[in-house]
Amino acid sequence: MIYTVTLNTAVDRTIEVPGLKIAGVLSGRTICEQAAGKGVNISRCLATLEIESDAGGFVGMEEASAFASSFAGTRARTRFIAVPGRTRRDTTLLDPVAHTDTHIRESGYVVAPEHLDALRADLAAHTKPGDILVFCGSLPPGVTPEAFAALIKHMQGLGRRAAVDTSGDALRAALGCRPFLMKPNRSELETLMRAAAQEAPASPRALVMLRDVVAAGRSLLGAVQTLLVSLGQEGAVLISSEGVWHGACRVAPADVKSTVGCGDALLAGYLAGVEQKRTIAECLRMGVACGSACALTPAAGLIYRADVERLLRETRVERI
């Protein structure tokens, strides 16, 4: 069973603004407004793939019912803990002329220690040994990287498998938990390398070549079992003790609607393969196809089954 844990959920609003520029009066149209956050996006993608999951974490009291209803009729169940305050708003501005996306992120509720205690108890009560808990997204005010790591370690101590997709200090803290899976992008992989070497944070060194990414990932295998590294248009690399695989699927630039949430879809597809007990190569193939399918839609973490099935046939995976 997969349980997604989003500590800092969001309400995503996507607006299309042709010829976007600063200042002046512009015309636009709202494409969608939906419950979001990395784990929410992952559970939504899993539901599209007919994979069951529980979506949990925190949500502002004002949006609790909307988050629950957003998964009605799907194979995803919600177990969000409502906290005082408002769920943050994230706005994406799409310019179909320049083919750009601009993101505006707000702050939301504050999480108190008793809320973390309630989440810890809920996770312990409603998951079982062997379940995958996907800890993902940014940390809300009130949750320190140390508290985040403590939550992961507590659940691992109960026999749960932890997958992590976050950034910055939270990512560095999670590395010390030795999770079974981490999904960094290029710059986040550099953050992990510095954390493993106990170096001071600095501007990431560019991992330009694929061989650089592979070497960096291999250097971390003592601290994490598997690394799923997202590479944007270049696909993704899966690095584990069993070997290294690269997967890619070409999407024409003109067909790309938005890149927001593509990494979430990548992780969802990979985890779907794990849940279905597919081979490593096939798990990566499913992940890359889902990430590519997400690029064809304007909303974060939205995929269509028909797109995934078509792109699966076009996704190439090779062992390197």
Over pLDDT 70: what percentage of the chain?
Answer: 97
5 part of a folded domain? yes
Q: Could you tell me the residue range of the domain that residue 3 belongs to? A: 1-19+29-143
- In this predicted structure, what is the pLDDT of residue 202? 55
In a domain, 139, yes or no: yes
pLDDT at 207: 77
Quick check: 140 and 172 in contact, CB under 8 A?
A: no
Instruction: Tell me what pLDDT residue 168 has.
Output: 94
> Is 43 among the domain residues?
yes
More confident residue, 284 or 68: 284
| pLDDT, position 4 | 98
At 32 the pLDDT is 84
pLDDT at 199: 65
| 271, part of any domain | no
Question: What is the tally of structural domains in the chain?
Answer: 1
**Contact indicator for 276, 312 with CB cutoff of 8 Å:** no
pLDDT band at 182 (very low <50, low <70, confident <90, very high): very high
Say what the pLDDT of residue 205 is: 56
Does 101 reside within a domain?
yes
pLDDT of 96 strictly over 60: yes
Neighbours of 169 (CB within 10 A): 16
Of the given ranges (32-36, 60-64, 79-83, 153-157), which has the lowest mean pLDDT?
Answer: 32-36
- pLDDT greater than 60 at residue 204: no
Q: From CA 171, how far away is CA 164, in angstroms rounded?
A: 8
Query: Which active-site residues does the annotation give?
Result: 264
Residue 152 lies in a domain: no
Average pLDDT value over all residues in the chain: 93
User: Can you tell me the mean pLDDT for 161-174?
Assistant: 96
pLDDT of residue 281: 96
What is the predicted pLDDT for the residue at 100?
87
Per-residue pLDDT reduced to its tens digit, 8-31: 999 999 899 999 988 888 899 998
Instruction: Give the pLDDT confidence score for residue 173 in this predicted structure.
Output: 95
For residue 125, what pLDDT band results from cuts at 50, 70 and 90? very high
* For residues 95-117, average pLDDT: 92
Better pLDDT: 196 or 167:
167
Section 89-110 average pLDDT: 90
- Assess if residue 159 is contained within a domain: no
**Is 111 within a domain?**
yes
* pLDDT for position 178: 95
The closest of 70, 46, 65, 84 to 272, measured between CA atoms, is 46
134 or 259: whose pLDDT is higher?
134
Whether pLDDT at 206 is above 80 = no
Q: What CATH number has the domain bearing residue 85?
A: 3.40.1190.20
pTM of the model as a whole:
0.92
